[in-house]
């Protein structure tokens, strides 16, 4: 496992709408809580958190240093973003006991490209974007990589039962759940046939009118 991120936190005294002052100063308001831990209202440098979050995501452990408290290991549990700019406005850290197993949704990363998709004969469908993993916090992987280059025909697919964790632990998503499948690409011939039929229709109408006029004479 890679070395864990470490963040230095400061006690926060401003709450409510007053925290906008912190954001203007480049500080990010945060809360730390968990079983037997906190909650602690804290703050940290916004850029420092963004860098750590890009590396750890929601499944990487982060060691938190809180003034007056013993060390805490936590996951990023929740983010609040600005509705327009999408900048992070607040973060919740979920403290965990490193000796107790947890269940976390781990992102699925697809790698490779089947030849049948490259030729345009099939379309790739990723049914599940994440898998539930049960393990000790330190053994939760950042992501689960799935190589799909072996899907060389439409009858092939990947289910949860086909996936092996890169670390100790267990995938608790049902084994028969479909993760990746292929479907045939749609043909475009039907549209061409319909257009030809529409172009021929006015000629039939003209012929009918000519027959009616001949009958009147």
Residue 117 lies in a domain: yes
Of the residues 34, 67, 95, the one at which a domain ends? 95
Range with the poorest average pLDDT among 7-16, 141-150, 196-205? 196-205
Render pLDDT for 15-45 as a digit per residue (tens, 0 to 9): 888 888 888 888 999 999 998 887 999 999 9
How many other C-beta atoms can be found within 10 angstroms of the C-beta atom of residue 163? Answer: 16
Report percent pLDDT > 90 for the chain: 55
Residue 211 lies in a domain: no
Tally of domains in the chain? 2
> Rounded CA gap, 12 and 21, in Å?
12
Render pLDDT for 78-102 as a digit per residue (tens, 0 to 9): 999 999 999 999 999 999 999 999 9
89 and 136, same domain (yes or no): no
Report percent pLDDT > 70 for the chain: 84
Can you list the pairs that 113-119 forms with residues at least 24 positions away whose Cβ atoms lie under 8 Å? Answer: 113/148, 113/149, 114/148, 114/149, 114/150, 114/151, 114/152, 114/182, 115/152, 116/151, 116/152, 116/153, 116/154, 116/182, 117/151, 117/182
Per-residue pLDDT at 74: 94
CATH code: domain of residue 128 = 2.170.120.20
Q: How many residues does the chain have?
A: 217
Per-residue pLDDT at 71: 84
Of the residues 50, 77, 95, the one at which a domain ends? 95
Residue 51 lies in a domain: yes
31 and 55, same domain (yes or no): yes
Residue 195 lies in a domain: no
Mean pLDDT of the chain: 85
Residue 192 lies in a domain: no
CATH code: domain of residue 51 = 2.40.240.10
26 and 56, same domain (yes or no): yes
Per-residue pLDDT at 14: 82
Residue 131 lies in a domain: yes
Per-residue pLDDT at 195: 53
- Find the mean pLDDT for residues 43-54: 92
85 and 114, same domain (yes or no): no
87 and 125, same domain (yes or no): no
Which pLDDT band, with edges at 50, 70 and 90, does 194 fall under? low
Report the side by side order of strands in the sheet with 88-95.
5-8, 62-65, 72-81, 88-95, 27-34, 37-45, 10-11
Of the residues 60, 95, 130, the one at which a domain ends? 95
115 and 78, same domain (yes or no): no
> What are the distances in angstroms from CA 131 to CA 108, 110, 161, 178, 212?
7, 13, 11, 11, 71
Q: Hey, is 94 helix, strand or coil?
A: strand
- Beta-bridged to residue 123, according to DSSP, are 183
> Rounded CA gap, 165 and 146, in Å?
10
Residue 122, token pair as written in the block: 């099939």
10 and 89, same domain (yes or no): yes
Residue 170 lies in a domain: yes
Residue 29 lies in a domain: yes
108 and 87, same domain (yes or no): no
Domain that holds residue 142: 102-184
Residue 27, token pair as written in the block: 């500080």
157 and 115, same domain (yes or no): yes
Say if residue 96 is exposed, middle or buried (CB neighbours under 10 Å; 0-12, 13-18, 19+): buried
Per-residue pLDDT at 216: 53
90 and 9, same domain (yes or no): yes
159 and 179, same domain (yes or no): yes
121 and 48, same domain (yes or no): no
């Amino acid at each position: 496992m890679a070395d864990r991120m470490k963040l230095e936190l400061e006690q926060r005294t401003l709450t409510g709408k007053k925290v906008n002052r912190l954001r203007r100063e480049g500080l990010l308001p945060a809360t730390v809580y968990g079983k037997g831990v906190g909650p602690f209202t804290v703050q940290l440098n916004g850029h420092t958190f963004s860098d750590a979050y890009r590396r750890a995501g929601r499944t990487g452990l982060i060691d938190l240093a809180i003034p007056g408290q013993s060390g805490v290991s936590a996951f990023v549990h929740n983010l609040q973003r600005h509705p327009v700019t999408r900048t992070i406005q607040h973060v919740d850290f979920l403290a965990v006991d490193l000796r107790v197993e947890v269940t976390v949704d781990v992102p699925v990363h697809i790698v490779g490209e089947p030849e049948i998709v490259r030729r345009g004969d099939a379309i790739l469908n990723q049914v599940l974007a994440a898998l539930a993993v049960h393990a000790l916090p330190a053994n939760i992987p950042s992501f689960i990589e799935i190589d799909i280059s072996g899907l060389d025909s439409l009858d092939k697919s990947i289910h949860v039962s086909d996936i092996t964790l890169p670390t100790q632990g267990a995938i608790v998503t049902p084994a028969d759940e479909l993760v990746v499948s292929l479907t045939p690409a749609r043909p475009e011939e039907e549209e061409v046939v319909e257009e030809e039929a529409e172009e021929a229709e006015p000629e039939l109408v003209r012929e009918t009118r000519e027959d009616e006029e001949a009958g009147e004479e």
